[in-house]
Amino acid sequence: MAAGALGPFYRFEKPIVEAALAAGVDYVSICDDNDAASAVIQMDRTARDKGRKVLTGMGWTPGLSNILARRGYDALEKTESIRIYWAGSAGDSTGFAVPLHTIHIFSGLAPSYQGGETVEVKAGSEREIVGFPPPLGRIHTFHLGHPEPVTIPLYLEDVGEVTLKGGLVENYLNNLARLLSSLRLTNTPAKKQAVGKLMKALLPLFPVNKQKAISGIRVEVTGYRDEKKVRLTYTAVDHMRRLTSIPLSIGTYQMGKGEIRRYGVFAPEAEGAIDPDAFLQELSRRGIKVESREEEL
């Protein structure tokens, strides 16, 4: 079997999945681009016919975010909405794929699941200031192009809303990414590559908040249990490399051990994929703590 962390995934995920299926091996990846996730999900029938397992989006967001969504969904009798938020710092990332991914998800339109149907919203729109655990605090977040609103409605039935918003701790970088998109400087792969190279070279010169050089996730699942409306909130903070790589390692281990029963191409929240309780136990053993809170509405 194989594990994949080669980004940007809008360039590499589909060819790698095709190569894995041609080679007859199972595959686990941290794919975090919605268009790439949509493309490989369409190969589900092919993978099942070949008796192969492809788990896409098994990282931080998507990945941990999807598993927390599944956990909240399973804890309720009826789920109305799932809202996912993430925060990351320029001081908490390395590698060329990170600025490329950021440019990509702030460009064009982003998928969102609202009113029981998939809609497209402007990437970088509808700013929302969201609270994360210390040291992150309140972070500016926006609609961005991530896979969760694409995959979660496929597997968690009768959920009316699945939204994804994220943002950088350094809000001036959010505004810069939005400006580049509005000027149509990131609307083609070639432009993204050129701007990405420039951003990668200049990032060491940009100011970062060293006290907040960390990343976080917040998942809110709202619905009904015992005829009461409740909101379940899950949060975690850690370094981006750990939030991303540890879920990948757990998913790969479980795939290799035969603990993932589902065949085809699927996301972590799918039935027969990742068991939330077992996964969170393994995550805790590796030092990433997920805090949970329940409140009546």
pLDDT in tens, 168-201: 999 988 998 898 888 888 888 888 888 878 877 7
What pLDDT was estimated at residue 185? Answer: 85
The C-alpha atoms of residue 44 and residue 50 are separated, in whole angstroms, by: 10
* Residues spanned by the domain of 189: 2-296
Report pLDDT digits (tens) over 259-285.
999 999 999 999 999 999 999 999 999
User: Does the reported pTM lie above 0.75?
Assistant: yes
Question: Cis peptide before 99, with omega less than 30 degrees from 0?
Answer: no
Q: What is the mean pLDDT of the chain?
A: 94
> φ, ψ for residue 243 (rounded to 5)?
-60, -30
**CATH number of the domain bearing residue 248:** 3.30.360.10
Domain count, the chain: 1
CA–CA dist 75, 274 (Å, integer): 16
CA distance 240 to 216: 8
Low-confidence ranges of the chain (pLDDT < 70): 205
**CA separation, residue 82 to residues 43, 177, 239 (Å):** 26, 26, 24
Strands 117-122 and 27-29: unpaired
What value does the CA radius of gyration of the chain take, rounded to a whole number of Å? 18
Which pLDDT value is given to residue 181? 87
Stated length of the chain: 297
